[in-house]
Each structure stands twice: as structure tokens, then as C-alpha cells.
Amino acid sequence: MIGETVMKTSAGAATHMPLARVVNLQHALETMKAQGIWIAGLDSEGDTDLLSFDGLIPVCVVVGSERGMRPTVRKQCDMIVRIPMWGRIESLNASVAAALMLYEVRRKRL
């Protein structure tokens, strides 16, 4: 069940996409990997640039909080993707970073 806060902040978009709630993120990531899904974490220190990321692979995007991903979650990632930044801005809000990553995956699949 998706809560009222999710529905409100998504402006209703949550009703148009599949969402999954998991109790144990580690187990969920392991299950996805076993099914051939790549795990891509978002982090400003990533070694894969978002613009060169292969958005055609089956992928689960993991976004940490503004303080980053937990080390145990980071270890599960097959790749760590960074969003290129210019100027004095070093990082983005987690929701903005997630939106950019998901948009890039979608753009590459068109």
C-alpha cells in the first residue's frame, strides 16, 4: 500500500508505475541480481558517468539519502553512477538525482 505522502509528493504519478515495498533491501537486491538485473547506485564519487551509462540493461537504481548510500548497500551495487556537475555545485538533492538518472535511462531506451 502506497501511503498518502508518496501519492501527494508524486503528484499522482505513483498510480501509473509499478512500485515495490521491501522489508529487507539487501535481500531484495540479491534477488534482483539473481534474476539478471544490474544494480546501479547513484553517488557523486561514482566511477561511471551518467552520460556513458548503458541505460539499455535491466537496471535497479539505488538512491541513498542526501548523506549517501549505506556501505552495505553500496557493496551490492554492480556500478556506481555519478551525475556530471559543473561549477561550484557538488551534489544534488536525492530526488533530483533520481529523476535525472531515471530520465536518462528512459531517454536511452527510446
**Which pTM does this prediction carry?**
0.84
Task: List, for residues 3-51, the tens digit of each pLDDT value.
Answer: 788 788 888 788 887 777 889 999 999 999 999 999 999 998 899 999 9
Q: Phi, psi at residue 64, to the nearest 5°?
A: -85, -170
Strand order from edge to edge, sheet including 38-42: 48-49, 79-82, 38-42, 59-63
Task: List, for residues 46-100, the tens digit of each pLDDT value.
Answer: 999 999 999 999 999 999 877 788 999 999 999 999 999 888 877 788 888 889 9
CATH number of 23-109: 3.40.1280.10
